[in-house]
Structure 1
Amino acid sequence: MDIFSRLTFFSYVDYSSLGLLFWLWFVIGWRIEHPSAKHASVSVLMAGYRREWMRQMITRDPRIFDATILGNLRQGTAFFASASMISIGGVLALFGNTEQLIGIADDLTLNSEPNIVWELKLMVTLFFVTNAFLKFVWSNRLFGYCAVLMSAVPNDVDDPRTMPRAMQAAEINVTAARGFNRGLRSVYFGLASAAWLAGPIALIVASLITCLVLWRREFASQSRDVLLSGDAHDA
């Protein structure tokens, strides 16, 4: 069976729901990283605090506190990378044992479809989980780079290399956090993609709910209000 014959197993609603999933994943990610100046996202606000962290580190003696925080951040990325790898193994295991999955899916959708349909649907979930794993691994490595740069910041405040190196560490820290957040979004949409097993309508609903949850946490959450109140006090 060629690829075109396999594609006929899916309806236009299936393709539309899949397109919506990827479109929402791209749009919400772009909006979070490129918000308007008047309505910044939590991620952008936290990037400002990360830069301020590196500026405050310059005069902190000793810098054990900063090293501890960075170590905790690396542990978080390592945990999610390990969890993503386990998820990848779980999805791959389903490819070799689709009989039970088909039985559950048939009960949910009340129809019978060939194995290739379920395998292709699982490949979408596998894509998101794999992308999440790669983002978490790269984020972990960037936090390691940040640790090296922080160690290279001179203790002398008057040293001309102090502020530039601290800002280098800040930008690497921000980039690492961006990768971590992208990995989390892939996890969210990977969970949403699993709804396709119950049909295209379920996938549409799950995609919209996932996008709404991400939007609320970034633009309408209590934590965002707290971060903004901190900026107001600073002003």
Structure 2
Amino acid sequence: MTLLTTLFPLICYFAYNIFIPQVEKLRPSLSSIMNLQRRRWVANAARRESPFDAILSGNIMQSVSFLASTAVLMVLAVFAVFGQIPALMESLSSLSLDARYSVTEVQLHLVVMLTMFVLAFFAFTLSLRQFNHFCIMLGTLDPSVPASEEELDAITEMNILGARNFNSGIRAYYFSVSTVAWFVSEWATIVACLLTILVLAQREFLSSAHRTAASAAIVAARRQKDAKP
């Protein structure tokens, strides 16, 4: 049971990333709706000569870079805890509600926490690299020459890849919070993970942001349809 609850946040993280794309085939998520807006962004950027799109891309990359740096700090913090195991065990003796963990169990759980933050770091750095590629591809567009649909689709797909890995890093942060509950109770970890899944699913499929983005996409589609001769 202790081993299962230790690994449970990691299992939930991978399961969520696997099953959500399947759910999106039945109901569009907020991320999939925003992908349509990314396509509109690229199409409009192909006709602009101002530095507006470079500013937008820079702001996105700055946010991703900040979270990647934070993940590094969290990795270093977990490593520092490994050197304070005796003090940690003493604190847990008064904090734990239903179990007395051994040193090995605590070390294993710290490894799981470390894994979560390492996964977040790799996701954010990959996202940063892909957004960098997106900026380069966006910069190659010549406003005086109409871009082909295939070229716009390729640039949009690079932006989508960056956003997908950014979301993966954010989810790793969310589930890493569930690992903290393990120090209080094994069952608290399971409850925290399930609540995390519900919160993420609600924000992706049932939130006000989802409804607003969907409405904007519908309005944009109608405008584009009316603009056609």
TM-score (norm 1): 0.87
Query: Is 1:94 aligned to 2:81, yes or no?
Result: yes
2:227 is aligned to none
By relative contact order (CA 8 Å, sep 6+), the higher-ranking structure is 2
TM-superposed deviation, 1:40: 0.8
Choose the corresponding residue for 1:195, options 168, 181, 201.
181
CA contact (8 A) 2:124 2:169 kept: yes
2:199 is aligned to 213
CA contact (8 A) 1:189 1:210 kept: yes
CA contact (8 A) 2:9 2:176 kept: no
**Counterparts of 2:25 and 2:215, CA distance in 1:** 16
**Counterparts of 1:18 and 1:165, CA distance in 2:** 46
| Deviation by residue 1:29-59 (Cα, 9 ceiling, x = unmatched) | 2343333445211111111211121011111
Please, what is the CA RMSD of the aligned residues? Answer: 1.8
2:58 is aligned to 71
Unaligned runs of 5+ in 1: 1-12
Query: Is 1:137 aligned to 2:113, yes or no?
Result: no
CA contact (8 A) 1:142 1:176 kept: yes
- Which runs of structure 2 are paired with 1:76-225 in the superposition (5 Å)? 76-109=63-96, 112-158=100-146, 162-225=148-211
Query: Is 1:24 aligned to 2:12, yes or no?
Result: yes
Query: Is 1:50 aligned to 2:38, yes or no?
Result: yes
CA contact (8 A) 1:142 1:172 kept: yes
**Counterparts of 1:42 and 1:55, CA distance in 2:** 20
1:6 is aligned to none
CA contact (8 A) 1:32 1:43 kept: no
How many equivalent residue pairs? 220
Change (3 A) 1:20 1:117: closer
Name the SS of the counterpart of 2:158 in structure 1.
helix
Query: Is 1:226 aligned to 2:212, yes or no?
Result: yes
Unaligned runs of 5+ in 2: 223-229
Choose the corresponding residue for 1:60, options 42, 48, 66.
48
| Deviation by residue 1:122-156 (Cα, 9 ceiling, x = unmatched) | 11111010000011011111111111101111222
